[in-house]
Amino acid sequence: MPFKIITSKNHDLDIDKVNNDAKNGKHVFMFLFMNGCGHCENAKPEWDALQNSGFDDSVNIVRINHDLFSNLQNVGPEPIGFPTIRYIKNGKSNEYQGDRTKDAFTNWIKSKIQSLGKSVSINLNKNTYHHAKAKGHKATKHGKHKSLHGGKRRKSRKIRKSKSRKHRK
């Protein structure tokens, strides 16, 4: 299963294979998408182009709908931002944070394969991108307070208060 698109119609056997591969040390590269997500729709064709990239059977490249996530095992916590792109090996996951192009995906996959599975599991609680839930809200990267949409970093309330006290004197 070098490349597979898993939908609600064909998911039983394919999800079992992904679960086994993720647990047993195969390279699994997973693109989790949510229906109606514009970023997901833009990235899907680039991810799907990996189908013709010539990776061997030891590399599993999967695109799966978020609705099926509850059926997956050993692939990390449930994503809260989309698309979520992960490398999974031996039950440890590493999220992709780069450009969403075929070339960038290909280079990332090659780098993970060449490292012979020595990927470092990341703390997803501190490094997870949030999908902006309300119109006008900007998504942020926790722990770094970096806006994904080019907005300025907001100063904490404590810093703003201390500055305003200095200006009153």
- pLDDT tens by residue, 95-104: 999 999 999 9
pTM: 0.66
Domain that holds residue 93: 3-114
Encode pLDDT of 120-146 as tens digits.
332 223 333 333 333 333 444 444 333
Residues listed for the chain:
169
Dist. CA 22–CA 114, nearest whole Å? 18
Q: Which CATH number does the domain housing residue 25 bear?
A: 3.40.30.10
Confirm whether 123 is domain-assigned. Answer: no
Confirm whether 35 is domain-assigned. Answer: yes
Strand order in the sheet with 3-6: 3-6, 59-65, 27-33, 84-89, 92-95
Which residue in the block uniquely carries the two structure tokens 């500055």?
163
- Least confident stretch, 31-45, 57-71, 91-105, 114-128: 114-128
SS3 93: strand
Q: Is the pLDDT of residue 78 over 70?
A: yes
Dist. CA 20–CA 13, nearest whole Å? 11
Confirm whether 126 is domain-assigned. Answer: no
* Cα distances (angstroms) measured from residue 145 to each of 5, 149, 150, 157, 161: 34, 12, 12, 14, 19
Amino acid 156: pLDDT = 45
The total of structural domains in the chain comes to 2
Please indicate, yes or no, whether residues 59 and 98 belong to a single structural domain of this protein: yes
Amino acid 101: pLDDT = 96
Q: Cβ of 143: how many Cβ atoms within 10 Å? A: 11
Please indicate, yes or no, whether residues 140 and 107 belong to a single structural domain of this protein: no
Q: Is the pLDDT of residue 30 over 60?
A: yes
Give yes or no for a cis peptide into 45 (omega within 30° of 0): no
- Least confident stretch, 33-42, 51-60, 119-128, 131-140: 119-128
Dist. CA 103–CA 110, nearest whole Å? 10
Q: Taking the CA of residue 89 as centre, how many other CA atoms within 13 Å lie in the half-sphere pointing to its CB?
A: 18
Please indicate, yes or no, whether residues 16 and 96 belong to a single structural domain of this protein: yes
Which H or E run contains 5? strand 3-6
